[in-house]
Amino acid sequence: MSSHNRKLTIVGAGAVGTSAAHWAVARKVASEIVLVDVVEGIPQGKALDISQSAPLCGYHGSVIGSCSYEDTANSDVVIITAGLARKPGMSREDLLAKNVQIVKEVTENIVKHSPDAVIVVVTNPIDAMVYTVFKVSGFPKNRVVGMAGVLDSARYRTFLAQALGVAPKDVTALVMGIHGDNMLPLTRLASVGGVPVEDLLSKEELERIVKRTQTGGGEIVQHLKTGSAFTTPGLCAIEMAQSVLFDEKRVLPCAAYLEGEFGISGVFLGVPVVLGSKGVERIVEFPLTDEEKEALQKSVEAVKRQVAATGL
């Protein structure tokens, strides 16, 4: 399927937004890509740089940088990366109040100019921000989805592949729950080429990998000191956008609004979903063990605390 006449807007021309725009061009996911930011010159300069890669990667569309939401009109998918990033020693919760304000304003602008868009939320703390977008937009739950699980799973799969000495793409693994230390990387369902990893790695080794996955973002922040991960988060957002724009029906772990699935209601939580042109087309529900249910409940409580803090 071609990217004919599809329009993608990325809000926030920071590291993650710029990375998403770069991957959008490399993957040719839309014929029109718009990078929006409040700081004059930044989106324009970055879009110009990215557009100049077109002859090298065979991209035929347009890349526009703008400070005006008028340029985003009638977008099919909007990725929100706008907000403040974590600094060392800063918790995701510290970000919350500041980012609620930013994301609220962004959402109002999106609704005004692209009332039919599917919104992919990347801003942290993700589980509270995606709830904020849902509440402020008034969009149906299927058109608001959060990016976290795709990234957490990518980290998890990378660590498993390294431990096993295998191709990362042959590792299938699911991370559920909150994007944070209470996330739930399911070892029971992780496999490589169809073989369960529990049969290939020791319990201790798996526990170490789970722990590293849960703190994967923080590990990168510790190294960088002045920023957080951006290359893979940008690609993860595009992976989701691509599934919507091309109606691929990919099964990806995303923050989706639950209404009774897994016995949970009224929160956005990382679960496996089918992503198609309507956004979240369905949640893939399956039985959990008692231990997994308990771990997921911890996620729910943490998310509820974050959501309460948004004041929405």
3-state class of 72 per DSSP? helix
Residue 179 annotated to the active site? yes
Cis previous bond, 125, omega within 30: yes
Residue 149's nearest CA partner among 265, 255, 278, 222 is 255
The rounded distance, in Å, linking the Cα atoms of 292 and 176 is 10
Q: Which residues contact 251 (CB under 8 A, 6 or more apart)?
A: 272, 273, 274, 275, 284
The rounded distance, in Å, linking the Cα atoms of 156 and 103 is 28
Of the residues 4, 113, 179, 223, only one is catalytic, namely 179
User: Cβ distance 139 to 119 under 8 Å?
Assistant: yes
Q: What are phi and psi of 277, to 5 degrees?
A: -60, -20
Q: Which residues contact 197 (CB under 8 A, 6 or more apart)?
A: 160, 164, 171, 173, 187, 190, 191, 206
Q: Which residues are catalytic?
A: 179
